[in-house]
Amino acid sequence: MFIDEAVITVTGGGGGDGCLSFRREKYVPRGGPDGGDGGNGGSVVLLADSGVSTLLAFRYKSQFAAERGRHGQGSKKAGRTGQDLVVRVPVGTLVTDGDGTLVLADLSVAEQPFTVARGGRGGRGNARFASPSRRAPTRHDPGRPGESRTIRLELKLLADVGLVGFPNAGKSTLISRISAARPKIADYPFTTLEPHLGVVDAGDYRSFVVADIPGLIEGAHHGAGLGHRFLRHLERCELLLHLVDLTSGQDPIGAIDAIRGELERYATALAAKPQIVVLTKADAIQDPAALRQTIDYVEERRLPYLVISAVTGEGLTVLIREVATALARLRSDTAADAEDLR
C-alpha cells in the first residue's frame, strides 16, 4: 500500500530533576550539598532512509516520544541523558507544521537528519547553588519538559522524469518497456492507483528515474479523479513527458490543452517545467489526419514531440536518448546558473 501523507505528534523527552542532597560521611565533620544535575531529555530526530519507500508505518502509529532524562543523585551524580528517538522516513519527505503552512525541513538527501522535537534540559542539583555565603542551599531545579508538536509528513518522490496524461494514455506500458518497473496494465481507466518508479538505462553509464502517476482528468486540481493526490510527486521532476493517446477517439489537441491547464491550475511552477509531448500507440493509429493535425499543433507552439509505440518498441530508443540529452542540458544550465550566483 502506498501512503504518501501522515500527521504525527512528536515529543522530546523531559529533563531529569536536579537532586537535593547533603554529604554525610563518617569522619567528615562538615558535609555539604552534593545533589547532582538531572540528565537532558532525548530528542526526536527524523532521518531520511533510502530503504523506506512509503509513509505506511505512520498509519498505525502516530505518537512518538523520546526517552526522558534520569534524575540527579547524591554524591554529585548527574542523571543519564535520555536517548534520542530516530524516526526513519522516505527520502523526499517534506516536513511541515500541523497546518501544512510552514515548511520545517525537506529531507531530499539520504541519511539527512532533522531534529523535529528537542529534549528538555535537566534540572540543576543543589550542589550548583553552593557559595561561601550559602553553605547549605536547598534549591534544586526540576527538569524542563521536551518540545511537543504535531507535524505533517508529505512524501514527494524523487524522480528525474514524470509521466502525465489522461487515463489509458500508455504511461504504465511505457514505463514497463523502458525500465524494470511492472505496474498493472489493463484497458480500463485508473488502472494505476499509486505511483511507480522505474530506472532507465540510457547507455554510456547514464540513467534516469521515471515516475508514473495515476492518470489525470479535467478538474483534477479540484480533486476529481485520482491523479490530483499524486501531482505533488511531479514537483521534484526536472522533465515531464506528456503522453497523448491518438487511438482513444478523444480529441488529442483538446487532451493536450486540458492536461496543461490542469498542471497550470495546480501549480504554475509545475506547468512551467520542460515538457516533451509523446504521441503514443502509433501502431494502432487509424486516422493519419489526426496525427498530422496534432503534430502541426505542437510544432506551431514549438513543443518538442515524439511518436512512439510502447507495444512494438517504435521510437523508444529515440525517446530514451532524447530524454537523457534533455536532462543533461537542464542540469548543465542549472549548474551554470548556480555558478553565476556565486
Residues 6+ apart with CB under 8 A from 52: 88, 89, 90, 91
pLDDT digits (tens, 9 = 90+) for 178-236: 888 777 665 545 555 677 888 898 888 788 999 888 777 655 444 444 556 678 888 88
Nearest partner of 159 among 94, 90, 92, 237, judged by Cα? 237
Residue found under cell 501544512? 100
pLDDT digits (tens, 9 = 90+) for 23-35: 877 777 777 899 9
CA 187 to chain centre: 31
Q: Which domains does the chain possess?
A: 5-155 (2.70.210.12), 161-341 (3.40.50.300)
Triad 229, 238, 257: Cα angle to 5°: 60
Residues 6+ apart with CB under 8 A from 128: 18, 37
What is the C-alpha to C-alpha distance for residues 78 and 301, in angstroms, rounded to an integer?
A: 72
Which pLDDT score is estimated for 222?
A: 47
234 versus 21: the higher-pLDDT residue is 21
Q: Is the pLDDT of residue 118 over 70?
A: yes
* pTM, entire model: 0.75
What is the C-alpha to C-alpha distance for residues 215 and 92, in angstroms, rounded to an integer?
A: 22
Q: Is the pLDDT of residue 266 over 90?
A: no
Q: Is the pLDDT of residue 76 over 60?
A: yes
